[in-house]
A and B are shown apart, each in its own frame.
Chain A
Amino acid sequence: MWIYEKKLQYPAWVESCDLRIAKLLFAQYGGPDSELSAGLRYLSQRYNMPIPEAKAVLTDIGTEELAHWEIIATLIYKIIERATLKQLEEASLGAHYVQHGRDLYPHDASGVPWTAAYIQAIEDPIANLHEDMAAEEKARTTYEHLIQSTNDRGVIETLSFLREREVVHFQRFGETLRLVQEHLDRKMYY
């Protein structure tokens, strides 16, 4: 189960009202390599992992991704909270406003709705963990593209924190993959 804690993992902040970056941030809210995809992917893959370390890593990183999803939402919320319809339209968020107002909705930077087709769970732990490592690298690259796309110091600082977490998760998944491989090798000998 999960229990909501009334705090963020990182004090997300925005300096100005960069509506263009708010639109682009939807890439990490409901895009293919978004925090939402990451969380649901890992939490779906954990059930049949062959070793306890792997069940723990997928549970814990999956949970952390949901906290990151909330950080992205907070950045977008803070930027568009006081924007007028005209300002939203000028930043190409007019279509978002028509369908969702200033609410969050899991679509990507161009408005394409999130789909479970972005993720996979296929029981084979080696295949699953390779997908997870690739996902962390793709998310890291997406954060770098986002950081290049704004001058807002708050957004840059918050995204730099999230980018760093992708690097740490990649490392932990790599160690998990090695542990699973060792486990499978031992099983073949005995």
Chain B
Amino acid sequence: MKINKESLDLLKEIMALEFSMIDLNLYLDTHPRDEKPLMIFEQYSCRLKDMKERYENEYGPLTPDRAGNRQWRWIEEPWPWQIDYEMGGK
């Protein structure tokens, strides 16, 4: 399923940033006192919060707790497995 270019670009940016945070999270689990990655994690965390807010205001909720602003938008398609991420195929 095609989605509009701006929402797809922002979604992919969010996916990339959150993935970096997942990787840092795992590293910090076994290196909890390593200060540099902790600092990067904090920076990413702020950026991610802003990006998600922008995405959710414009295009719909990523989590159900953000879905109920006068109308229930959680059920809106596409679901993640339906999206054509435009990487060169489907």
Q: Check: A96 CB closer than 8 A to any chain B CB.
A: no
How would residues 57 to 83 of chain B score, 1 for a CB under 8 Å from any chain A CB and 0 otherwise? 000111111000000000000011101
Q: Contact: A172 with B27, CB < 8 Å?
A: yes
Closest 6 A-B residue pairs measured CB to CB? Answer: A11-B85, A15-B89, A175-B30, A13-B87, A74-B81, A56-B29
A19 to B2, CA, bound (A): 22
Query: DSSP majority for the A interface?
Result: helix
Q: A5-B63, A7-B62, A153-B88 are in contact. Are A57 and B26 (CB under 8 A)?
A: yes
Query: DSSP majority for the B interface?
Result: helix
Q: Contact: B90 with A8, CB < 8 Å?
A: no
Question: Could you say which residues of chain B place their CB within 8 Å of the CB of A70?
Answer: 80-81
- Chain A interface size band reads 35 or more
Q: Check: A131 CB closer than 8 A to any chain B CB.
A: no
Q: Contact: A154 with B32, CB < 8 Å?
A: no
Q: How many residues of B contact A (CB 8 A)?
A: 31
Q: What residues of chain B have their CB less than 8 Å away from a CB belonging to chain A?
A: 11-12, 14-15, 18-19, 22-23, 25-27, 29-32, 60-65, 79-81, 83-85, 87-90
A49 to B11, CA, bound (A): 36
A86 to B25, CA, bound (A): 46
Q: Contact: A153 with B29, CB < 8 Å?
A: no
How would residues 57 to 81 of chain A score, 1 for a CB under 8 Å from any chain B CB and 0 otherwise? 1001100100000100110011000
- For chain A, residues 78 to 97, give those with C-beta under 8 angstroms from any C-beta of chain B: 78
Q: Contact: A13 with B90, CB < 8 Å?
A: yes
Question: Closest Cβ of chain A: how far from B29's Cβ, in Å?
Answer: 4
